[in-house]
Structure 1
């Protein structure tokens, strides 16, 4: 039991380290900056961050949530992303074992994490993540035993195609843009990784959760009109995560219950 705890603790630490890089992506990609250079710097005073102040989670605790150089508050998003990345790493290894498939799914989930926080902050989904993600998903399918290249290709086509038809239909009916191209490319990426069979589940669940959250937001804000801008990407990402770990069980539960 002790060895198992140490093993998963190590996996969590590796995931949190990856989460530190994901924070760089979340901060820099919307600004069109390189995620490789320059080295990490304070977003307030732009001074470089020393390595001992850049240790995932630990540095945040030791610094008591404030930058050493200018004493500005460090956003809670940074330790949150590192923690979520660590949890997703552990979940991937626990679900798929210490295998290349676990690494592939972690890369996919990490991309969803970046997309989620960028979409929440800026209401955009960067092509720098979704388009390479489609390609990686298709290339990986050529080597996978659990998903064929045909299913991955159909997943990308069906996923992107359905949302494209929805976007075009909504715009023609209302004269307004209701869904951005980023959501279309995101679902194409999800389909490339998970296959076409996952698409109906992801669309239905994301629409259901998104609608419920939208209603709660409107009630909280006191807005009676339905024109409230809520990013759809995080709901697609959440549904994809649920499919990765519990999709088959959820479908089985639904079929046996209803």
Structure 2
């Protein structure tokens, strides 16, 4: 009798505990806050946008008072050699990162795109980094957005150093595990190389009609196409976790006009 009673009580406590934990996690996620000044990325952002919350609704807090000035959801996509840290960890020859910020604030609606590129030869032109249009495949149609004509595109060049040599490759690490110390690279086989990575920040125009289309999007992964100034185009996936947040972030200022 006591065993069955204790078992029932334990089950109830477990259910309540799970419910409480889920509630706390939901509350914690709902309370993600970004200071307004942190989103002022006119001077660029670190490689891979480390430190930002991704695919979560973040409240934009006014930097001077404790009031909410907007909502944003941030997405990122990386390509190129992964290594052990992935394309977002640090710049490395051949890596390419797209960071997009979707949302609305007291000034209107916005879509901001940051392109980061670490070329193999360390050289890049601004035209390779600046998309002149952004196309969104949505509800069996293509929405094309133009750059905001009232804003200036900003480009950046950043120095960095990376390590090249046998000791840094995944293949050599696996070989070391399989064959022991005999597979270790020769002394001084690694070398430090200086190079450059580049970044451009572009703001696209989002009006009420576009915002309404985004708010009506089905919650699933979609694709966007960036068409660059030099004629190149690149298709980027946009995660479901970002798309399903559009109704909330663009609902903060649904008219997309200054409040």
Shorter-chain TM-score above 0.5: no
- If the length of structure 1 is used for normalisation, what is the TM-score? 0.25
Higher helix proportion (structure 1 or 2): 1
Higher strand proportion (structure 1 or 2): 2
Q: Which structure would you say has the larger Rg?
A: 2
- If the length of structure 2 is used for normalisation, what is the TM-score? 0.24
Which structure exhibits the higher relative contact order, with contacts defined as CA atoms closer than 8 Å and separated by 6 or more residues? Answer: 2
